[in-house]
Amino acid sequence: MWGNGDMALEIIRIPVLSDNYVWLVHEAASGETMVVDPAVADPVLAQAQARGWTITQIWNTHWHPDHTGGNAQIKAATGCIITGPAAEAARIPTLDIQVTGGDIVRLGDAEAAVIDVPAHTAGHIAFHFASEKAAFVGDTLFAMGCGRLFEGTAAQMYDNMRKLEALGDDTAVYCAHEYTQGNGRFALSVEPDNAALIERMAAVDQMRARGQATVPTNIALERATNPFMRASSIAELAARRAAKDKA
């Protein structure tokens, strides 16, 4: 669980499938609870029930089944409202509310800005709680990585890196997969002399050896160690993504 006395949200990581993370987010003042990208339903419903929380909302970052697969069952069980990208509404039939970049979504008293981050999918979005210094980024930014360019371009992903970088070094980044160790190995092949990267990978290897999760990450760590955020041009990001896809 993440949060401190100054934060309105409690955030729970739920590992599902082989390497997915679903995020359960509770706003205590209102009692509202939201799920980000539920791949499946049962573990999410169980975690909420164990805490005495009632799920009132689901927020989807993109249409892929490992991010929306639990939507219908959770909605049937709780009557929750589902919000997701307007550009992908045709591929997320459970959506109640369609949003796009610049929109504001709310969980109780906590407000999040919607950010357009297309590339992994054509309509991918992220949610940024500025007051909480927290961003839910789906499959756009990973610890030391970025999403594959399934439906978009390197230019879009480069722009995404700039948008997310601008959120500030102390912004926590809640991504949707445990890809850190593999991403870090690739990053080392790109920047073998990066001292911050070498130090981070040593810590990651120890954490994974103990079975510990390596996310959330934060913008400062990614600026120092992520080869895609650190790419100096669209062409360089494109070359790195192509190399990573073959790795």
Q: Which residues are catalytic?
A: 62, 64, 66-67, 120, 139, 177
CA angle (43 as vertex; 208, 149 as ends), nearest 5: 60
What's the rounded Cα separation, in Å, for the pair 170 and 43? 30
Q: How far is CA 182 from CA 53, 164, 185, in A?
A: 35, 22, 5
Count of CB atoms within 10 A of residue 1's CB? 10
What's the rounded Cα separation, in Å, for the pair 218 and 134? 9
Least Cα distance to 46 among 6, 77, 87, 18 occurs for: 77
What's the rounded Cα separation, in Å, for the pair 36 and 11? 10
